[in-house]
Structure 1
């Protein structure tokens, strides 16, 4: 089984973290987000992954070189951004003639891919779309299905907070249904390809599962993914909580809360208090500093006696001693100043 993983997003909502690191390569506890995605695929029998992106391979080369074991990685660089549909069509030459998975590279899920493939085959579908039930669908477009689970239409985002089934961003696709499309312009698989297949009578089915699913596209969701992993909510992955890298240096007098991940070579000095936060590799928290619901980017420093709450610090950002910040984003290699 093969999979196409889309890694072309710009990660604008995660800035300043993505000013220096691609979104899919940001650390998620002990390894990059993309490692979690590939490990999940491997657990369900995927042996080859095609990574598709308009970025040059150089941005991902260190990750690809360091990756060990299944699945093997094939890289495709898009000549121009092709959208979700165009990128998948562009990869058809590498997937062969059998159905394949397609998904975004910034989703954390424990979706039963084996069960999804069985459902795809049972329904003789050309497309199967993973669905997730939400209590408030305003942030998503709704997917309407009949009593057999066949998708009948895609609905726009509702104005009112209503429950419904939404597209969870993992697909099984029959290559034949995509071959009429050309990969020479930007195409949306959700807004163009899927509606076209449905209109032509192609069997498109939903796979509704009670699985963990989280889009990691914002700082709040990125933090929540760490909390959920540390809390054991994602099947197949287990961590101690808090998680402290073996090479991190945490003073015995520092207080590290349960929902905290401290990366390699990071430091927390005496009296430091860190709660509900992520401290990236090489970052440091000074004497008596307070860090709450904050992402401390790689090599960033929180000065002694400072307090940062609901903040995002880019790589190499510096918080001077005895400064209090709330709700701010500090850019790469920038020193914060009083508001």
Structure 2
């Protein structure tokens, strides 16, 4: 058996990702689609295969030349796309006098290709088309004897009368076996579809046989983004439940997996809880990656493995696919630190929770910073002066002062104070691994089943991790507006952190406290920028209720400096307090 893989299309339904990666090389659960098809043909007894190419053909050539297949695989470049029929005709010199198989490169299936070929050999008709029931693509008409009568919706209507009392509407899978005589019905050197040739064949009184795949076979067209994503999820979810310590009940059929989307937060990522046989996983969808750069998915996976290897409590990553951006995680439940603090009965109970989290924070900073591969980071490797100026200070001006409050402020108005803030934060930094978003909603809480009723704390959303000051993470934790810890409690916990950190490394308490003050202001500016951006640009107005708390915290943090320090920021913080109330009041009136 010889075979042809149709791979010359532009992949327009998968834009913008096909601008840099041809559709046949899209990784499907870790393997390129083209590789999956070639190996399926190889296992089916194919002796040699040819792939027609056009868009980004060099990448397909390079991929195939780098493989070690058991069968020869050739490519044939089409300077002008010729369509399915024209492509088949264009390799007429490749065919011999035996029936050959043609298969699309944008499908995923477990249909037995050897069975299909043998089915064709056992009848006398020149074409076998493999059909499958898929409501989205069911436009091919087959009669009760499994002969094809038409190929589109209008033809279905034509056959819906008493002359043809029984017919089936099915989808063409893109898999077909063809006798060489069909080549005579296809014009050379011009664009044409194989269906055009088949209509000619039927008009001449010849028949096309349908191989109708049974329920035991799966087939999916993955030629557009939604179907590609859904197909990858379906395959990976089933595999994810087989990993780790999940114990599934056995039976004759696989139980269904249910999907429930979870409420997100500030991120554009989508979160889902998957349940099967009373076991659950969490899936995070980062979206398909762009080529040629480290993605958020890469950092999430690599940093997650790094931290877990250092004994830091983060969710176990069960399965992932860096291309599709899908990661399957241990399910830690729905309880955040924010929740247990809100429900706590005493201040002592709250302090105990935070001390447990600070214990983790310290170990993460010290041990997480050891042997940390800087290439794991997808934004910057370090929390440095430039990052503070751009991602904290300028973000505050652009997203909050201008974008949310509508002031005419600009970065240059505060440049000297921003520069001093950045310089001091770095100068007094106690450096290690930093989470960068160490707030209560990124700390999951799971109750233990032992008699002491202890809580276990886990860190999530660590993909922004890098090397930087532990004081920044501590500030993120303590000035968190979702919780509103009293200032006295914040001070006590800050001292607890110094004491705990001192048991691992040498710490100058005075320098630590100074660095903490500067990092607190930097974090405050970042929070307000984020709240302004999320409320105004992303339409997530529920963040607005935390703005007054964050503004008051900024005023307090600035007040801890001398009178000569940050006069412009102190003044603008007062304006922020009035402005945020006015913006919220105006919006409430409109609503």
Alignment partners' CA distance in 2, 1:76 and 1:240: 41
Q: Distance in 1 between matches of 2:219 and 2:117?
A: 18
Report the equivalent of 1:144: 141
**After TM superposition, which residue ranges in structure 1, 4 or more long, deviate above 6 angstroms?**
241-245, 323-326
Larger relative helix fraction = 2
Structure 1 residue aligned with 2:176: 171
Distance 1:74 1:283 in 2: 39
**1:44, 1:30 → 2: CA distance?**
22
Structure 1 residues 288, 102: CA separation in 2 closer, same or farther (over 3 Å shift)?
farther
Deviations 1:62-101 (A, max 9, x none): 2012111233211111131101110011112112121111
Task: State the SS of the aligned residue for 2:151.
Answer: strand
In terms of fraction of residues, the more strand-rich structure is: 1
Q: Quote the residue 2:231 is aligned against.
A: 225
Are positions 1:188 and 2:193 aligned together?
yes
Partner residue, 1:75: 75
Residues 184-263 of structure 1 mapped to structure 2, 5 A cutoff = 184-190=189-195, 192-210=196-214, 211-232=217-238, 248=302, 250=305, 251-252=307-308, 253-255=313-315, 260-262=320-322
**Cα distance in 1 for residues equivalent to 2:82 and 2:3:** 18
Structure 1 residue 60 corresponds to structure 2 residue 65 = no
User: What are the equivalent positions in structure 2 for 1:148-167 lying under 5 Å apart?
Assistant: 148-156=145-153, 164-167=169-172
Q: Is the 8 A contact 2:140 2:172 kept in 1?
A: yes
8 Å contact kept, 1:104–1:170 = yes
Alignment CA distance shift 1:145-1:54 (3 Å): same
Partner of 2:46: 46
CA offset at residue 178 of structure 1?
Answer: 1.5
Q: How does 1:299-310 map to 2 (within 5 A)?
A: none
Given the two structures, how large is their TM-score scaled by the length of structure 2? 0.41
Report the Cα distance in structure 2 between the residues aligned to 1:61 and 1:188, rounded to whole angstroms.
Answer: 24
| Number of the residue aligned with 1:103 | 103
Please say if residues 54 and 79 of structure 2, whose CA atoms lie closer than 8 Å, have aligned partners that are also in contact.
Answer: yes
Q: Which residue of 1 aligns with 2:10?
A: 10
Q: Using the alignment, how far apart are the partners of 1:69 and 1:205 within structure 2?
A: 31
- Rounded Cα–Cα distance in structure 1 between residues aligned with 2:66 and 2:377: 22
Q: 1: distance between equivalents of 2:197 and 2:40?
A: 26
Structure 1 CA distance for aligned equivalents of residues 145 and 222 of structure 2: 31
Separation in 2, partners of 1:193, 1:209: 23
Check 1:240–1:25 CA distance in 2 against 1; reply closer, same or farther (3 A cut): farther
Residue 132 of structure 1: CA displacement? 0.5
Q: Would the aligned equivalents of 2:186 and 2:192 in 1 still touch at CA under 8 Å?
A: no
Supply the distance in 1 between the matched residues of 2:17 and 2:24 (Cα, whole angstroms).
11
| TM-aligned CA deviation for residue 148 of structure 1 | 2.1
Matched with 1:276 is: none
Do the aligned partners of residues 257 and 98 (structure 1) sit closer, same or farther apart at CA in structure 2, a change above 3 Å counting? same
Q: 1:74, 1:176 → 2: CA distance?
A: 23
Are the counterparts in 2 of residues 141 and 154 from structure 1 also a CA contact under 8 Å? no
Which ranges in structure 2 are unaligned for 5 or more consecutive residues?
A: 158-167, 245-280, 284-296, 333-375, 380-434, 442-462, 466-528, 539-591
CA 1:21–1:57 in 2, change beyond 3 Å: closer, same or farther? closer
> Over residues 121-150 of structure 1, what are the superposed CA-to-partner deviations in whole Å (9 max), with x where a residue is unaligned?
22212100000012x3xx435222222211
Q: Distance in 2 between matches of 1:50 and 1:97?
A: 16
SS in 2 for 1:80: coil
Q: Secondary structure at the match of 2:133?
A: strand
Q: Counterpart of 2:149 in 1: which secondary structure? A: strand
User: 1:125 maps to what in 2?
Assistant: 125
Distance 1:248 1:203, change over 3 A: farther
Partner-residue secondary structure (3-state), 1:186: coil
TM-score (ref. length: structure 1): 0.69
How many angstroms apart in 1 are the aligned matches of 2:175 and 2:242? 25
Whole-Å separation in 2 of the counterparts to 1:14 and 1:154 = 25
Q: Distance in 2 between matches of 1:69 and 1:239?
A: 29
SS in 1 for 2:39: helix
Counterpart Cα distance in 1 of 2:33 and 2:212: 24
Q: Per the alignment, in what secondary structure is the counterpart of residue 222 of structure 1?
A: helix
Per-residue deviation, 1:288 = 5.7
Q: Structure 1's 261 and 132: CA in aligned 2 closer, same or farther, altered over 3 A? A: same
Task: State how far apart, in whole Å, the 2-side matches of 1:87 and 1:118 are.
Answer: 24
Q: 1:81 to 1:259 in 2, by over 3 A?
A: same
Q: Secondary structure at the match of 1:42?
A: helix
Residue 240 of structure 1 and its aligned partner are, at CA, apart by 5.4
Higher relative contact order (CA 8 A, sep 6+): 1
